[in-house]
Structure 1
């Protein structure tokens, strides 16, 4: 009789997806969450005001600037950033709790947020073993400009500032584990899933099988 294959026992992943504003990281993240039930999204903190229909604790944890600063002083954040005059941050306790429960965690962040996590992971073995970083970029800056203009949310100065920031962020692509040049949402999701599947079975993330 052929012996049974050993059962897989793998460590959950912390996937940090980053892209310039307007490149589609939020849409791609939502697509991935829909395709993979084991993936979970962490509710992040922000100081910006709730938009219509947003519920505290579901869309974001809405904090005052004073509350956010206190959380920073206490070392509560895995990463935090100042983005266009508002603060955003991910609570380390939420991420670790989900990883230890066996769930894969997806974070959609700007480049400085991913860089913060990479610095922490360099001295934190649990984070280091879980972390996978992916950078999503549009095929060209003109395509990004078109997408941002289509939103209709930016005046000329805002648009130019966002494009300048996008150029800076795109220049950081080599600091990530993977690069996806955006095609369609379906193709981008397929590439993300291929990355997740491959990273899930890396030997350094697997527990020794029971033979």
Structure 2
């Protein structure tokens, strides 16, 4: 890991808008690249392997775990998700900051790893996105019309548990409009880039 580059972790309950926020940041900041994560869940309509996720079988995922190739991995809603170390490193080597769209479990795994890895600790920036209320989150889940009612209830139950961990993150964004959320995330990225611990010494 290179401490001059950021590893930006964005976590949120399902339906809070983190995927949209990630897309919006990538559209306006050419210095940020998204690390594509692996998953064992089936592709949703319109999703493509290598663009949205790396869609893996359970067997392939288990082999990556056994070889220690994941930076973090977790099971969420019955499916496995993980971020390959080489996926992050290839963006760092290209001179980019890296954006990770991962769940609360994955963020906790990264924080734990950072406790014993000074370079990872210096790069890691964690952000939690949450709606103003559970009622608002439920409205968003119903509006996107992707899940059956029983699935929505499971996601809301999980959201209650995830929301309890917001203080574990470096930053909290209470979701408003898409432009407001983007402004908040851009402000965080700019502030983190300007930290003196990441700056190259001026040439006086």
What TM-score range do you get, normalising by the shorter chain?
over 0.9
List alignment gaps of at least 5 residues for structure 2: none
State how 1:7-18 maps to structure 2 within 5 Å.
Answer: 11-18=4-11
Q: Is the 8 A contact 1:134 1:179 kept in 2?
A: yes
Q: Per-residue CA shift, 1:42-62, capped at 9, x if unaligned?
A: 111111223444332222222
Q: Which residue of 1 aligns with 2:142?
A: 149
The alignment partner of 1:117 has SS state of helix
Q: Per-residue CA shift, 1:143-191, capped at 9, x if unaligned?
A: 0011111222333322221111101111100000000111101011001
Question: Is 1:190 the counterpart of 2:164 in the alignment?
Answer: no
The alignment partner of 1:89 has SS state of strand
Q: Which residue of 1 aligns with 2:82?
A: 89
The alignment partner of 2:112 has SS state of helix
Give the total of aligned pairs.
Answer: 202
Q: Distance in 1 between matches of 2:129 and 2:44?
A: 26
Question: Is 1:105 the counterpart of 2:70 in the alignment?
Answer: no
Larger Rg: 1
Q: Is the 8 A contact 1:20 1:137 kept in 2?
A: yes
With structure 2 as the length reference, what TM-score do the two structures score?
0.94
Question: Is 1:40 the counterpart of 2:33 in the alignment?
Answer: yes
With structure 1 as the length reference, what TM-score do the two structures score?
0.91
Instruction: Pick from 90, 95, 117 the counterpart of residue 110 of structure 2.
Output: 117
List alignment gaps of at least 5 residues for structure 1: 1-9
Q: Distance in 2 between matches of 1:188 and 1:103?
A: 22
Across the aligned residues of Structure 1 and Structure 2, the Cα RMSD in angstroms comes to 1.4
Instruction: Pick from 67, 71, 74 the counterpart of residue 67 of structure 2.
Output: 74
Question: Is 1:210 the counterpart of 2:195 in the alignment?
Answer: no
